[in-house]
Amino acid sequence: MLDAKQHQGKFGEDYVRVLASAAGLVVLTQDNDSDGVDLGFRATGRYGHVQSPMIEAQVKTWSKPTESSGRLHYRGLNEWQFNKLAGPNFSVPRYLFLICVPSDPLEYAAFRSEGVLLRHLGYYVSLRSETPVAEPDRERSRPVSVPTVNVLTAQELRRLTESRTAW
């Protein structure tokens, strides 16, 4: 059986996989997490001048989100993790996917006559315009502000993947 942290993290990644499946995207996994990426997403075919565009994401889960002024204030990244997402120098666009989940794992999914409901919502943010930390420390937190209008849906995940200018 997974411990609580592993369970929450696995649910977050599976939540995003369900969205990718609904969007018709290919999900790519990394050999290990040494580069700060959990999952990659690829659209098949040509989109403008790009063949098989893709994005990468670090997936984080959060059971007690704090929000004000239309933004989630996430403090779960350390400076090393932040640097793996920050700045413009990646050949593949990178995002932070933040999946807000219930505190009780028994509430992650609910079954209805019309289908399965996954709880709660996922959000995304690009840290492309952020400056990486000069001397990152894995022990120091780096807060990130995530707009609540950036709801991660199947349609939005597909748009992010197909559009290299969206990031």
98-153 pLDDT, tens digit each: 999 999 999 999 999 999 999 999 999 999 999 999 999 999 999 999 999 999 99
Domains within the chain, CATH numbers bracketed: 4-162 (3.40.1350)
Structure tokens at 132: 């990486």
Q: What is the pTM of this model?
A: 0.95
Cβ partners under 8 Å of residue 43, min gap 6: 24, 25, 26, 52, 53, 54, 158, 161, 162
- Examine the pLDDT at 33 and tell me if it is beyond 80: no
Q: What does the pLDDT read at residue 165?
A: 53
**pLDDT band with cut points at 50, 70 and 90 for residue 31:** confident
Q: What does the pLDDT read at residue 119?
A: 95
